[in-house]
Chain A
Amino acid sequence: MPRGQQSIGESAIDVEQLWRTYRTTTGTLRRHRLEIEAVRGISLQVEPGELFGLLGPNGAGKTTTIRVLCTLLLPTSGKVRVRGIDVVDHPGEVRRQIGYVFGGDRGLYDRLSAVDNLRYFADLYGLDPRQQRRRIEAVLELVGLKGRGRERVEGFSRGMRQRLHLARGLLHDPPVLFFDEPTIGVDPVGAREVRQVISDLAKSGKTILLTTHYMFEADSLCDRIAVIAKGKIVAEGTPQELKAGVRVGAVVEIEAYGVPELTVQRIRDLPEVDSVSTEVREQAQLLTVQAQEGSQLTGRLLQLLEGVRVERIAAREPTLEDAYVALVTGE
């Protein structure tokens, strides 16, 4: 079977025991070698036509994983195949099969117009010159940039740039698409439009792997989700399976000022406590304490927080986001 043509039953994306380690050095006079294991033995399969989500916090290994799949990074070890083609041995053929869309302000030629950006990449993707014009018009319309093609990218908003990234990724109509945090930094209306485009692409039969740290985004878009934390997959399944599989008992939220790290650790060490996450909100800290079902913690928490200015302490029902936090903090 020619490479690039998928055989029946073969996964569109196949990752087996992927490890990726970064090696760097620190120090000026005395150099120390540092090894960072960004991805630690990930295995996953994505079926043709599936919209698969890689969900995890910053630094979890999502972008590293997607970069390996897109042939931008070599794995330290493991086997990675896209449509049956090994990404290490045949990167050129993998690149013909994929489109890669990443978020952010960069990645476009600011001094060129949107159409010029797309024309350049249409040439690099080997699109027939006679079909380029039609294809460029079609992708601009698909992403909602119709009529804006002649404008220079430097005048584009963040949302428009993201849509142009999307247009570029779709130019050569690849069967497999990778989206790396496609709505990051985009306003809510723009983000909703981007998600709608992704959903429509999935319905048209594209295989999509999407990374995100927004639980609701993965929940609303994906057929299946793998939750990744500290380089490992900690849970995998459909959104419904993930919600059912993670038990979160009681949740206590504490808004306070200047909580010492030692106090947070003492809260964490309480036998009924599963996890404690902290979030800084302007001057205050928001502690979210997840505990076993039926725990009565409020009194003991207030004792540990003696001397700290506590603005609010309240027990509430656990949400899906709490389930996600429980998974990624791994406590």
Chain B
Amino acid sequence: MVLSGWWYQLKMQAQSGFTVLVALIQPLIFASIAMADQQAGNRTLPLLYYALGAGIMGIWSTVVFGCGGALNWQRHQGMLEPLVIVPAPLVLVLLGITLGTATVGLYAMGATLLWGWLVFGAHLHFANLPAFVIAVIATVVALGLLGLVLGSSFVLYRNSNALSNALEYPVWLVCGLLVPLSLLPGWTHPLAYVLAPTWGVEALRAAAIGGNPWLPLLWCGVSSIAYLGLGVVLVRNVERLSRIHATLTFQ
């Protein structure tokens, strides 16, 4: 049922003109940010280093807006009640939706790299292509599971999509997507280490440019398991609270 949710969520978003338009335009903006980053920095790091960070920014933006927006959209469509009333555990139903959303973000990442190559001349040479592919999948899964944690709070609050705005940019900074973590204050590091984008981008960069991708992939996996556990607990509580406070609909 998770696969089913993933597939149909993907199918619906692919048919949304707005989603397609945003997925075409946003990566160009992210690729430009990557280029500006590289130009402003010491230029010892290849453009691909920054382009991968911009690509993860694209997936993160899709996840944070997609998960909050998707669940409120489900509520607007009157779909939340039919989804809650099925015998399948709600956490698995939501997981399909968040994984589908994260997969749409994968498109944003691919488009960012493509724009980086076409417009800014980034060299798309991958030192360890199989590890890169595994890192991409692991990152998408980890972000989808983080989306599950976020989405479970969005179910409870009718207008929680406003939280998406507050969550987008800080993660870009804190997770080292724009600049290396070493340049950020020390107090931000613990926060970075619990967020999947940090490990995802590190694994991708190591696999693409050279380095050991397996340790950050391991941490990606550990954080995924933690998000899943937290998501299960949150979704159960949130479902119960939604039934108490009648927040499954807008009525």
Instruction: Report if A and B associate in a common complex.
Output: yes
State the A residues within 8 Å of B (CB). Answer: 22-23, 67, 70-74, 92-93, 95-96, 98, 100, 102, 104, 106-112, 116, 119-121, 123-126, 168
B240: nearest chain-A partner, CB-CB: A74
Q: Evaluate contact between A107 and B77: CB separation under 8 angstroms.
A: yes
B76: nearest chain-A partner, CB-CB: A106
A309 to chain B, nearest CB (A): 38
B108 to chain A, nearest CB (A): 20
Q: Evaluate contact between B243 and A120: CB separation under 8 angstroms.
A: no
Kindly identify which residue among A73, A106, A125 contacts B243, using a CB–CB cutoff of 8 Å: A73
Q: Evaluate contact between B243 and A72: CB separation under 8 angstroms.
A: yes
Q: Evaluate contact between B83 and A124: CB separation under 8 angstroms.
A: yes
Chain A residue numbers with a CB within 8 Å of B1 are: 123-124, 126
B21 interface hit (Cβ, 8 Å): no
Q: Evaluate contact between B86 and A109: CB separation under 8 angstroms.
A: no
The size of the chain B interface, using a CB distance under 8 A, is 28
Q: Evaluate contact between B81 and A72: CB separation under 8 angstroms.
A: yes
Q: Which of B7-15, B159-167, B188-196, B221-229 contacts A (4 or more CB under 8 A)?
A: B7-15
A96 to chain B, nearest CB (A): 5
Chain A residue numbers with a CB within 8 Å of B77 are: 106-110
Q: Evaluate contact between A168 and B11: CB separation under 8 angstroms.
A: no
Q: Evaluate contact between B81 and A126: CB separation under 8 angstroms.
A: no
Chain A residue numbers with a CB within 8 Å of B16 are: 111
Q: Evaluate contact between B81 and A112: CB separation under 8 angstroms.
A: no
B167 to chain A, nearest CB (A): 26
A83 to chain B, nearest CB (A): 14
B243 to chain A, nearest CB (A): 5
Given contacts A111-B15, A112-B8, contact A124 B246 (CB under 8 A): no
B84 interface hit (Cβ, 8 Å): yes
- A168 and B16 CA atoms in complex are apart in Å by 24
- A241 and B15 CA atoms in complex are apart in Å by 54
B241 to chain A, nearest CB (A): 9
Q: Evaluate contact between B243 and A124: CB separation under 8 angstroms.
A: no
- A125 and B1 CA atoms in complex are apart in Å by 9
Kindly identify which residue among A93, A100, A124 contacts B88, using a CB–CB cutoff of 8 Å: A124
Kindly identify which residue among A74, A95, A110, A112 contacts B86, using a CB–CB cutoff of 8 Å: A95
Q: 1/0 per position for B81-110, CB-CB distance to A under 8 A?
A: 111111111000100000000000000000
Q: 1/0 per position for B216-251, CB-CB distance to A under 8 A?
A: 000000000000000000000000100111101000
B188 to chain A, nearest CB (A): 36
Q: 1/0 per position for B55-89, CB-CB distance to A under 8 A?
A: 00000000000000000000011110111111111
Q: Evaluate contact between B84 and A72: CB separation under 8 angstroms.
A: yes
A272 to chain B, nearest CB (A): 40
Q: Evaluate contact between A96 and B87: CB separation under 8 angstroms.
A: yes
Given contacts A95-B85, A168-B82, contact A71 B243 (CB under 8 A): yes
Q: Evaluate contact between B8 and A71: CB separation under 8 angstroms.
A: no
B91 to chain A, nearest CB (A): 12
- A67 and B243 CA atoms in complex are apart in Å by 9
B74 to chain A, nearest CB (A): 9
- A35 and B124 CA atoms in complex are apart in Å by 61
- A71 and B81 CA atoms in complex are apart in Å by 10
Given contacts A71-B243, A95-B85, 12 further A-B contacts (CB under 8 A): A71-B85, A72-B85, A72-B248, A73-B243, A92-B87, A107-B82, A109-B79, A111-B11, A111-B16, A123-B5, A124-B86, A126-B88
A58 to chain B, nearest CB (A): 12
- A111 and B12 CA atoms in complex are apart in Å by 6
Q: Evaluate contact between A22 and B88: CB separation under 8 angstroms.
A: no
Q: Evaluate contact between B15 and A107: CB separation under 8 angstroms.
A: no
- A102 and B58 CA atoms in complex are apart in Å by 38
Kindly identify which residue among A72, A110, A124 contacts B4, using a CB–CB cutoff of 8 Å: A124
B243: nearest chain-A partner, CB-CB: A74
B192 to chain A, nearest CB (A): 36
- A71 and B76 CA atoms in complex are apart in Å by 20
- A70 and B89 CA atoms in complex are apart in Å by 15
Given contacts A22-B246, A124-B1, A125-B87, contact A104 B8 (CB under 8 A): no
Chain B residue numbers with a CB within 8 Å of A70 are: 85
- A125 and B88 CA atoms in complex are apart in Å by 7
- A70 and B81 CA atoms in complex are apart in Å by 10
Which of the listed residues A72, A93, A121, A168 has the most CB atoms from chain B within 10 Å of its own CB?
Answer: A72
Q: Evaluate contact between B86 and A116: CB separation under 8 angstroms.
A: no
Q: Evaluate contact between A107 and B79: CB separation under 8 angstroms.
A: yes
Q: Evaluate contact between A112 and B11: CB separation under 8 angstroms.
A: yes
Chain B residue numbers with a CB within 8 Å of A126 are: 1, 87-88
Kindly identify which residue among A22, A74, A109 contacts B8, using a CB–CB cutoff of 8 Å: A109
Q: Evaluate contact between B78 and A73: CB separation under 8 angstroms.
A: no
- A67 and B78 CA atoms in complex are apart in Å by 14
- A93 and B89 CA atoms in complex are apart in Å by 11
Chain A residue numbers with a CB within 8 Å of B15 are: 111
- A107 and B86 CA atoms in complex are apart in Å by 13
Contacts A/B (CB < 8 Å), 22 sampled? A70-B85, A71-B243, A72-B85, A72-B243, A73-B246, A74-B240, A93-B87, A95-B85, A95-B86, A98-B85, A106-B78, A107-B78, A108-B78, A108-B79, A109-B12, A111-B15, A124-B1, A124-B83, A124-B87, A124-B88, A124-B93, A125-B87
